[in-house]
């Protein structure tokens, strides 16, 4: 601590520190800024905390503007310690002014009486700017690393899903060529179908953590509806596995997913062949309606069986005191196609116009 009782001033690193009494009595400040001058007079009479001011005219250049063009306020604790508490002027008379030396250079908030920026000891602001540049560079590097990892994972995932649905397509074609009938086809691909269709739940996670810019709700509805068809209709009700409607939606799903995942893969690699793009945004016009027809016919074929066997239903009375009828649940599921299908179909039509008309978009949904 350094004290100059005669001049009530001290020079630290080229900065002249002066007492509040000198500031409020400074005729230059009073003349230039009478409103601020009166405000500080009132403020200093209401507190008994000693405020510190910096004379910016000597070596300490302000980094921005200030209401006090040549004198700006340094907040309490800016120099590493809180300013000492001293009595009011009326109680202490002409007590000498005391302050503490400037702490080691570190970032200091730019706050003044009107929230204007101010300078601190020489070297402090430069250190703050350097630290900010380093932090920003490290943040950008982390983002690039996360982006590279996300891209690598999405590429691997889409390649794996493309391969999986290709295996399903080859298996179905081979079975039909060997047997000459679709009966028993579902059982031959059931395990592979369950695995790759259930793996699509990962896409909901992609949306949830933000590596894919798509609505979690939209993706969740699409994925869960297919999982529901696989696990709770086709696999659970064996009587419907030989229905032509099951083969219909299986063929539609297979062609759709091969074109979709292959398009995503090439899009991540920034090399999309035109026929892949064309298939992605043209085949759905026919495949989407056919797939919906196949799913609805399959559910409809399952209704009599569900009603007769009361499968997945819970009747009263029971210990849970809850009633659930799977038959009526399937009817509600069929009715839900009425509002949902048009929204998804017209969304794809909008995407088709954007992509095929040459507009640049990043398509990660549907």
Q: Which of 288, 300, 312, 337 is catalytic?
A: 288
Tell me what pLDDT residue 75 has. Answer: 45
Distance CA 111, CA 126 (A): 17
Tell me what pLDDT residue 218 has. Answer: 85
User: What is the greatest pairwise CA distance in the chain?
Assistant: 111
User: What is the Cβ-side half-sphere exposure of residue 150, based on CA atoms within 13 angstroms?
Assistant: 15
Active site residue 274: no
Distance CA 111, CA 72 (A): 9
The pTM (predicted TM-score) of the whole model is 0.61
Residue 17, SS3 per DSSP: strand
Distance CA 348, CA 67 (A): 58
Burial class (CB in 10 A: 0-12, 13-18, 19+), 357: exposed
Distance CA 102, CA 363 (A): 56
Per-residue pLDDT of the chain (366 residues; tens, 9 = 90+): 444 444 444 444 444 444 444 444 454 444 444 444 444 444 444 444 434 443 433 344 444 444 333 444 444 444 444 444 444 444 444 444 444 444 444 554 444 344 344 344 444 444 444 555 656 676 677 677 768 999 999 999 999 999 999 999 999 999 999 999 999 999 999 999 999 999 999 999 999 998 998 889 889 989 999 999 999 999 999 999 999 999 999 999 999 999 999 999 999 999 999 999 999 999 999 999 999 999 999 999 999 999 999 999 998 888 888 999 999 999 999 999 999 999 889 988 988 988 887 654 444 444
Tell me what pLDDT residue 266 has. Answer: 96
Residue 11, SS3 per DSSP: strand
Tell me what pLDDT residue 131 has. Answer: 56
Instruction: List Cα–Cα distances, 153 to 18, 173, 203, 240, in angstroms.
Output: 62, 30, 12, 37
Active site residue 320: no
Q: Say if CB 114 and CB 40 are below 8 A apart.
A: no
Q: Which of 203, 243, 257, 295 is catalytic?
A: 295
Tell me what pLDDT residue 281 has. Answer: 93
């Amino acid at each position: 601590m350094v004290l100059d009782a005669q001049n009530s001033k001290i020079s630290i690193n080229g900065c002249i520190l002066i007492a509040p009494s000198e500031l409020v009595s400074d005729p230059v400040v009073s003349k230039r800024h009478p409103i601020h001058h009166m405000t500080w007079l009132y403020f200093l009479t209401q507190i008994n905390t000693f405020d510190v001011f910096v004379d910016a005219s000597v070596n300490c250049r302000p980094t921005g503007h200030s209401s006090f063009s040549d004198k700006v306020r340094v907040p309490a604790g800016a120099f590493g310690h809180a300013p000492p508490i001293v009595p009011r002027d009326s109680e202490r008379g002409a007590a000498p002014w005391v302050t503490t030396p400037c702490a080691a250079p570190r970032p200091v908030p730019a706050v003044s009486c009107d929230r204007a920026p101010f300078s601190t000891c020489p070297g402090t602001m430069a250190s703050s700017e350097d630290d900010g540049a380093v932090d920003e560079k490290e943040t950008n590097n982390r983002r690039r690393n996360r982006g590279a990892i996300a891209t690598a994972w999405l590429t691997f995932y889409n390649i794996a899903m493309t391969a999986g649905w290709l295996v399903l397509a080859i298996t179905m074609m081979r079975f039909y060529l060997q047997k000459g009938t679709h009966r028993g086809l579902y059982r031959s691909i059931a395990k592979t179908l369950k695995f790759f269709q259930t793996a699509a739940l990962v896409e909901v996670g992609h949306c949830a953590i933000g590596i894919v810019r798509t609505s979690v709700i939209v993706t969740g509805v699409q994925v869960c509806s297919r999982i529901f068809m696989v696990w709770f209709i086709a696999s659970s009700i064996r009587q419907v596995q030989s229905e032509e409607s099951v083969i219909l939606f299986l063929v539609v799903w297979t062609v759709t997913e091969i074109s979709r995942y292959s398009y995503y893969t090439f899009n991540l690699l920034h090399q999309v062949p035109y026929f892949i793009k064309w298939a992605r945004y043209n085949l759905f016009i026919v495949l989407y309606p056919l797939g919906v027809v196949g799913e609805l016919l399959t559910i409809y074929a399952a209704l009599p069986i569900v009603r007769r066997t009361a499968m997945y239903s819970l009747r009263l009375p029971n210990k849970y005191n809850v009633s659930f009828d799977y038959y009526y649940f399937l009817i509600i599921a069929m009715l839900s196609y009425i509002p949902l299908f048009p929204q998804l179909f017209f969304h794809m039509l909008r995407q088709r116009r954007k992509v095929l008309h040459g507009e640049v978009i990043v398509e990660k949904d549907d």
